[in-house]
Amino acid sequence: MMRSSKRSLFQKNVMLSLLSLIMMYPVFWWIGASLKTNEEMSRPGLFPEQPMWSNFIDGWTAIPGFTFTHFYLNTFQLIIGVLLTSIVACSLTAFAFARLDFPLRGLWFSILLLTLMLPHQVTMVPQYVMFNGWGWVDTFLPFIVPHTLAGGIGGSFFVYLLVQFIRGIPKELDESAKMDGCSWFGIYWRIVLPLTKPALVTVAIYCFLWNWDDFLGHLIYINSVDKYTVGLALRMFVDSQSSVPWGQLLAMSLLSIVPSVLIFFLAQRHFVEGITAGSVKG
């Protein structure tokens, strides 16, 4: 029985390893292609005989007048603003839905859940017309300001996630804090917020990834090259009037995923806790 169990486990591991290699093949090709010249792109072989490490250096300074350092700083500036406003606004909104008793609370929460089913394409044009009328186009305000109202990308989902997490915190802690003279804001700041750290980390990871990958939103609202994010800068490599330096483009796109990968793996433990914490009731 033990030999049969070990053999079955070994076979499963081999099969999973093979499937993993198949799934990772596009990534291996991506890495190899980032080290090739344009002439080598159509040749067979995963990796070039003579890797062109200069693709990373040349690609970093390929856009006249700018380096990718400038575009990374723009992207981080935008995302930090979105992260801070999202965490504050969504946690306050979730605390109100989970702990406070106010008129039509159930109705407003139902409307919040309904917005999860509303495609972004439905609100894209009205939002652009509104923000353009306010003079916000070609600024970072269309990304940051909506998050102050628990809106923006994933705002409703973040509130729902935090509400479910806060509901799992015993209300006896609130009652004890009230007996000590703590206000509702004090309960939120001193008790609920520290206990929701795993969920807040989950919100931060999702918010970072979704806004880092939001090429369409950046394309719509950002027009000036000096305000371009990394995704828009990569688009500038593709010019229909000249040859595209594919090696440099793939090298820069490879570097563009490094922050997302690092943040996910560094915060993976908190991410898993935030996702699973509200799923078990005891």
- Tokens coding 173: 């802690």
Answer whether residue 266 shows pLDDT above 50: yes
Domain map (residue ranges) of the chain: 67-279
Q: What is the mean pLDDT of residues 136-162?
A: 88
Q: What is the mean pLDDT of residues 23-50?
A: 88
Question: How distant, in Å, are the alpha carbons of 57, 63, 73, 133, 256 from that of 60?
Answer: 5, 8, 14, 36, 11
Q: With cut-offs at 50, 70 and 90, classify the pLDDT of residue 202.
A: confident
- pLDDT for the residue numbered 189: 92
- pLDDT for the residue numbered 38: 87
Q: With cut-offs at 50, 70 and 90, classify the pLDDT of residue 128.
A: very high
Q: What is the mean pLDDT of residues 227-239?
A: 90
Residue 241: which region, alpha, beta or left (left: phi > 0; alpha: psi -120 to 50)? Answer: alpha
Q: pLDDT averaged over the chain? A: 88
d(CA 269, CA 87): 19
pLDDT in tens, 53-90: 999 999 999 998 999 999 999 999 999 999 999 999 99
Answer whether residue 238 shows pLDDT above 50: yes
Answer whether residue 280 shows pLDDT above 80: no
Sorted by sequence, the CB contacts under 8 Å of residue 147 that are 6+ apart come out as 82, 85, 86, 89, 90, 155
Structural contact between residues 33 and 39, judged by C-beta atoms closer than 8 angstroms? no
What is the CATH code for 67-279?
1.10.3720.10
The residue to which tokens 């918010």 are assigned: 207
- Tokens coding 112: 């919040």
pTM for this predicted structure: 0.86
